[in-house]
Structure 1
Amino acid sequence: MVLTRAGLRFAGRLWPCTIGRGGVSADKREGDGATPVGCHHIVGMLYRPDRMARPADWAEPILPGDLWSDDAADAAYNQMVRAPYAPSHEALRRADPLYDLVLLTDWNWPVAQPGRGSAIFLHRWRRPGFPTEGCIAFRPDHLRRIAQAIAPGTRVIVPEGLAS
């Protein structure tokens, strides 16, 4: 997978996508809304079993109480955690469909450096052109097709030439 200005190139086609509101950055920081430059790898797949069938045999369900820590001062920063959880976090099981299917990358993981930014996911977009907080987002049916075609370790390349 290679991010281009026109979309994500993968499996012989160009998939329309949106990126972070902060554009592409070679110096990613927590809260900047940027998609980080680099060669990232898909390290996991999460899905809502109450909303869709398992998209791949290695996909893990998102259960009630599944959260993602985004508190740079917390020992579990940039890790999945469970409720109740006091430090800052993001709910993975959302009321909207944004995280019904999530591909996890190894950005700042497994050993997170505080302040470099928490998870970069591949997930569904809100609508075409609507930016993310740094993730890469796709049309829902495209995301499902991508999820079915990848394997753990698939590379997601964000070229430095795209940095603002």
Structure 2
Amino acid sequence: MEGRLVLAHGVRRAALGKGGVAALKREGDGTTPLGRFPIRQVLYRADRMRRPWTPFPLRAIRANDGWCEDPADRNYNRLVTLSPKSGADRLTRDDALYDLVLVLGHNDGPRVKGRGSAIFVHLARPGYAPTAGCIALSRHDLLMLLAGLRRGSAIVVM
């Protein structure tokens, strides 16, 4: 689904979840959750880009980093170290989608099993193909968004 991102310098194209926007997010439903989400941290691929400036906690993605999307796992909706039998989403993707990631504060305080995990702002696929529930932007627009954010900034999905 295509959406729009409003920035200080204009309105930009964004990709949203293939299931549209939903007030009640469920794990695996393909929807982007409706609401106001604080930025928890920024992750980036140090092997693919320079360290970005940000007022948020910043971490270079490591080869064995993943994000747990299994509601039955005690680490549900958290950054994890991958193991050989882990079903977590690998953050070191072959494509560029996770070269720069804003981790949004969705279903993390408290975490409710099955209410959705790994809601990120990340890089868009060619043609702005729909996401699994994240918000995806061009590299330029994501960098412009990051440059304009301040502590306390949030992403609002309407």
TM norm structure 1:
0.88
Contact 1:68 1:81 in 2 (8 A): yes
Matched letter for residue 69 of structure 2 = D
Residue 25 (structure 1) aligned with residue 40 (structure 2):
no
Return 5+ residue gaps in structure 2 as ranges: none
1:8-27 superposed Cα distances (whole Å, 9 cap, x missing partner): 11224112101000000011
Moved more, 16-25 or 84-93: 84-93
Spell out structure 1 runs of 4+ moving beyond 2 A: 85-88
Cα gap change, 1:12 to 1:145, in 2 (>3 Å): closer
SS in 1 for 2:18: coil
Give the corresponding residue for 1:119.
Answer: 118
Contact 1:29 1:116 in 2 (8 A): yes
Give the distance between the partners of 1:53 and 1:87, measured in 2 at CA. 29
Following TM superposition, by how much is the alpha carbon of 1:59 offset from its aligned partner in structure 2, in angstroms? 2.2
SS in 2 for 1:16: strand
Contact 1:108 1:119 in 2 (8 A): no
Residue 52 (structure 1) aligned with residue 49 (structure 2):
yes
Give the distance between the partners of 2:154 and 2:6, measured in 1 at CA. 12
Matched letter for residue 123 of structure 2 = R
For 1:38-117, list aligned pairs within 5 A: 38-57=35-54, 58-84=57-83, 86-117=85-116
SS in 2 for 1:113: coil
Q: CA RMSD in A?
A: 1.6
TM norm structure 2:
0.91
SS in 2 for 1:63: coil
SS in 2 for 1:128: helix
Following TM superposition, by how much is the alpha carbon of 1:85 offset from its aligned partner in structure 2, in angstroms? 5.9
- Count of matched residue positions in the alignment of Structure 1 and Structure 2: 155
Give the distance between the partners of 2:12 and 2:140, measured in 1 at CA. 11
Following TM superposition, by how much is the alpha carbon of 1:95 offset from its aligned partner in structure 2, in angstroms? 1.1
